Chains A and B, each alone.
Chain A
């Protein structure tokens, strides 16, 4: 049986038929007790009834299914071989930016800008889109550490938590506003990034992953246990929501509110839409910042560290500083996302910052294609929307989620978008000279 399933060569139609017949035979053997015979309750006594027609259908489906599967596998394999062959014959062809990808990028931007207008009354859609954007921003932040600098970080959620708690504490204890707290929280998160970076500088790969995993848990456990500071498991409640340049989103009162200032009727949707645009703007700024950094010396040094640390040292690059800057900038971006998260929820507790979150953010970066900015967007869509769409399937939802991840890894082992765009080109430049 194993030999049948794992046949590596392409099969002829006759072989396929034989293979499908064998599978159908096994289905028949299994099906006789499982489908062919059934117990029925007849006057208080159990009797065995037969269901031969159902069994026939079952065996037939297995036969046809196996035939189709085998055919599909052969087709895919042939296509892959053809692709490999063409790749071998022309390995040095430079890949220009695919116009399709650029187009997808702009289309995604247009859709995300128009989304709240299209669904202005549908709070659920805008809320879900906001969640997607938070993960996009986190993914872009982690991309600096994992995708560019190649430092496997399993505790990224710690910086998200640091950002969220910094804003939570600054706003509830000292009355700071969102915009005042944002840079401070970013700086605090960046210092935590350096704090984590220092002891891990000499570690690579698996060892680094374990230490970062531990760091993420340390932060969470501190938040749970240091009740005086963080409120412990109860978290921090009634965190003020961001206001629109000083105009709060509140029902009309004595002070001018967003609705009264613009002469609109008060609606709770205003705040939802505002939050959506806020995270969209933050995410776009993150994207702009990271793509720009990538083309600067520091960004190229991050990638060089990922490629070969020893060669970097031999080129006079201070590997310690480069790694620490990657940790700090990744952490800062995670901190910004945390501030937004706290402001949006109005309530934070250690439960929001479990390892599960780190794993999802890492999955977004890896599935999207290490280092690819657009890939992160696509992967966040898949990873956030799939569980959402799967709500109707209740207990099958994680199964669906897992299946989707496995399928992506089979078809696209390097991630959805694994193409690396050079940070600068000779040819384009040569035209200008």
Chain B
């Protein structure tokens, strides 16, 4: 592929916790404006991979380069977690939802725009005095938050405490909140977990819209194959921290290594029921 340079290139990433090799020599490119799926059995190192990308873990070996259109090449593995979101605009969500439960949905989305607002409030002085520059910034933040809430159908819940809402809605709020940070790359950790079929098909639409219309690259960890196979432009399969396959959804479904990893070999004794489940809907006909 002689495509434009990738937005994110991960090279020889290794993460070791004591004797445990969580990620083993992983290299991966993430294209701009595309959806890249990361799948693999439980414990394959997918979330650890996200933690390495977003500064929550420092990888033992390897580099993560981000081609930022304005700021040039950024080495994500050297940045602290808040700098990854702030400077590199790589924003993530969490497998177990992490909202600010007592704050309202709208406040959650405004907090996500903290850096822009804090800058406008000039160390809170302009904010304390209520100067027009700060008020404009606040109104703009409000508009952005309301825009995303509307897009995700959450506007009527704007003033409700986020923790009081149902699970599926909290997932969407977390995505909306991440979008308020203006991500170049959005890392979603199992966004479809716990969603019903209707909600996950809505999620598919949203993800496609974000990539193609908003131009946000998406890195997607997901067990729900109806989502991954449907939306991903490119899929990377991990097992025991190693990349075992990479390619288009169609390639992946035929790949013998992947099938082995998910279903186990004839003589493998680690066949687990919950991994079977994730494999069940891989048939593209069942997706639709």
- The answer to the question of A16 belonging to the interface, with a C-beta cut-off of 8 Å to chain B, is no
* Contact stretch, chosen from B94-102, B205-213, B221-229, B260-268: B94-102
User: Do residues B181 and A315 form an inter-chain contact, with CB atoms below 8 A?
Assistant: yes
User: Do residues A300 and B82 form an inter-chain contact, with CB atoms below 8 A?
Assistant: no
B contacts, CB < 8 Å to A: 54-56, 80-86, 91-94, 98-104, 106-107, 110-112, 114-115, 117-118, 121, 124, 127-128, 142, 146, 149, 155, 157-161, 164-165, 177-178, 181
User: Do residues B85 and A314 form an inter-chain contact, with CB atoms below 8 A?
Assistant: yes
Residues from chain B with Cβ under 8 Å of A298 in the complex: 118, 121, 124, 127
Give Cα A192–Cα B123 distance, bound, in whole angstroms.
20
Quick one: which of A92, A292, A293, A307 contacts B157, CB cutoff 8 A? Answer: A92
* Contact stretch, chosen from A229-237, A354-362, A425-433: A425-433
Give Cα A318–Cα B142 distance, bound, in whole angstroms.
21
- The answer to the question of A49 belonging to the interface, with a C-beta cut-off of 8 Å to chain B, is no
User: Do residues B128 and A315 form an inter-chain contact, with CB atoms below 8 A?
Assistant: no
Give Cα A424–Cα B142 distance, bound, in whole angstroms.
9
Residues from chain B with Cβ under 8 Å of A427 in the complex: 158-159
User: Do residues B111 and A316 form an inter-chain contact, with CB atoms below 8 A?
Assistant: no
**Selected A-B contacts with CB under 8 Å, 8 pairs:** A307-B101, A311-B99, A313-B55, A316-B84, A316-B86, A420-B161, A425-B158, A426-B155
User: Do residues A319 and B106 form an inter-chain contact, with CB atoms below 8 A?
Assistant: no
Residues from chain B with Cβ under 8 Å of A301 in the complex: 111, 114, 118
User: Do residues B111 and A317 form an inter-chain contact, with CB atoms below 8 A?
Assistant: yes
In this complex, which of A316, A427, A429 has the most chain B Cβ atoms within 10 angstroms of its Cβ? A316
- The answer to the question of A392 belonging to the interface, with a C-beta cut-off of 8 Å to chain B, is no
A contacts, CB < 8 Å to B: 91-92, 94, 289, 292-293, 296-298, 300-301, 303-304, 307-308, 310-319, 420, 422-427, 429
Which partner residue on chain B sits nearest A293 by CB separation?
A: B124
User: Do residues A92 and B165 form an inter-chain contact, with CB atoms below 8 A?
Assistant: yes
Quick one: which of B102, B142, B155 contacts A307, CB cutoff 8 A? Answer: B102
User: Do residues A315 and B107 form an inter-chain contact, with CB atoms below 8 A?
Assistant: no
User: Do residues A300 and B158 form an inter-chain contact, with CB atoms below 8 A?
Assistant: no
Residues from chain B with Cβ under 8 Å of A317 in the complex: 82, 111, 114-115
Residues from chain A with Cβ under 8 Å of B81 in the complex: 313-314
Top 4 A-B pairs, shortest CB-CB distance: A316-B85, A316-B86, A426-B158, A307-B100
User: Do residues A315 and B103 form an inter-chain contact, with CB atoms below 8 A?
Assistant: no
Q: How far is the CB of B133 from chain A (nearest CB, A)?
A: 13
User: Do residues B124 and A316 form an inter-chain contact, with CB atoms below 8 A?
Assistant: no
User: Do residues B159 and A94 form an inter-chain contact, with CB atoms below 8 A?
Assistant: yes
Quick one: which of B111, B128, B159, B177 contacts A422, CB cutoff 8 A? Answer: B159
Which partner residue on chain B sits nearest A96 by CB separation?
A: B159
Residues from chain A with Cβ under 8 Å of B114 in the complex: 297, 300-301, 304, 315-317
Residues from chain B with Cβ under 8 Å of A313 in the complex: 55-56, 80-82, 85
User: Do residues B118 and A314 form an inter-chain contact, with CB atoms below 8 A?
Assistant: no
Quick one: which of A91, A289, A314, A422 contacts B107, CB cutoff 8 A? Answer: A422
User: Do residues B111 and A425 form an inter-chain contact, with CB atoms below 8 A?
Assistant: no
Give Cα A420–Cα B165 distance, bound, in whole angstroms.
17
User: Do residues A300 and B124 form an inter-chain contact, with CB atoms below 8 A?
Assistant: no
User: Do residues A300 and B111 form an inter-chain contact, with CB atoms below 8 A?
Assistant: yes
Which partner residue on chain A sits nearest B89 by CB separation?
A: A316
Residues from chain B with Cβ under 8 Å of A91 in the complex: 164
Give Cα A296–Cα B164 distance, bound, in whole angstroms.
24
Which partner residue on chain A sits nearest B111 by CB separation?
A: A304
User: Do residues B106 and A424 form an inter-chain contact, with CB atoms below 8 A?
Assistant: yes
In this complex, which of A297, A307, A420 has the most chain B Cβ atoms within 10 angstroms of its Cβ? A297
Known contacts A315-B114, A316-B115: A426-B106 contact under CB 8 Å: yes
Residues from chain B with Cβ under 8 Å of A316 in the complex: 82-86, 91, 114-115, 181
User: Do residues B121 and A308 form an inter-chain contact, with CB atoms below 8 A?
Assistant: no
User: Do residues B106 and A296 form an inter-chain contact, with CB atoms below 8 A?
Assistant: no
Residues from chain A with Cβ under 8 Å of B127 in the complex: 292, 296-298
User: Do residues A319 and B164 form an inter-chain contact, with CB atoms below 8 A?
Assistant: no
Give Cα A135–Cα B91 distance, bound, in whole angstroms.
43
Residues from chain A with Cβ under 8 Å of B112 in the complex: 315
User: Do residues A426 and B82 form an inter-chain contact, with CB atoms below 8 A?
Assistant: no
Give Cα A227–Cα B118 distance, bound, in whole angstroms.
44
Q: How far is the CB of A196 from chain B (nearest CB, A)?
A: 21
Q: How far is the CB of B144 from chain A (nearest CB, A)?
A: 13
Which partner residue on chain B sits nearest A93 by CB separation?
A: B160
Q: How far is the CB of B137 from chain A (nearest CB, A)?
A: 9
Q: How far is the CB of A149 from chain B (nearest CB, A)?
A: 13
Q: How far is the CB of A369 from chain B (nearest CB, A)?
A: 12
Give Cα A294–Cα B127 distance, bound, in whole angstroms.
11
Give Cα A315–Cα B112 distance, bound, in whole angstroms.
5
Quick one: which of A292, A311, A312, A422 contacts B94, CB cutoff 8 A? Answer: A311
Residues from chain B with Cβ under 8 Å of A307 in the complex: 99-103
**Known contacts A316-B91, A427-B158; can you find 18 more A-B pairs with CB under 8 A?**
A92-B157, A292-B127, A298-B118, A298-B124, A300-B114, A303-B102, A307-B102, A311-B99, A313-B80, A315-B82, A316-B114, A318-B82, A318-B86, A422-B104, A424-B106, A424-B107, A426-B159, A429-B142
Which partner residue on chain B sits nearest A420 by CB separation?
A: B102
Residues from chain B with Cβ under 8 Å of A420 in the complex: 102, 161
Give Cα A179–Cα B94 distance, bound, in whole angstroms.
50
Q: How far is the CB of B276 from chain A (nearest CB, A)?
A: 32
User: Do residues B103 and A297 form an inter-chain contact, with CB atoms below 8 A?
Assistant: no
Quick one: which of B80, B99, B146, B158 contacts A308, CB cutoff 8 A? Answer: B99
Known contacts A317-B114, A424-B106: A296-B128 contact under CB 8 Å: yes
Q: How far is the CB of A431 from chain B (nearest CB, A)?
A: 13
Known contacts A92-B157, A297-B117, A316-B86: A303-B128 contact under CB 8 Å: no
Known contacts A308-B98, A315-B91: A92-B121 contact under CB 8 Å: no
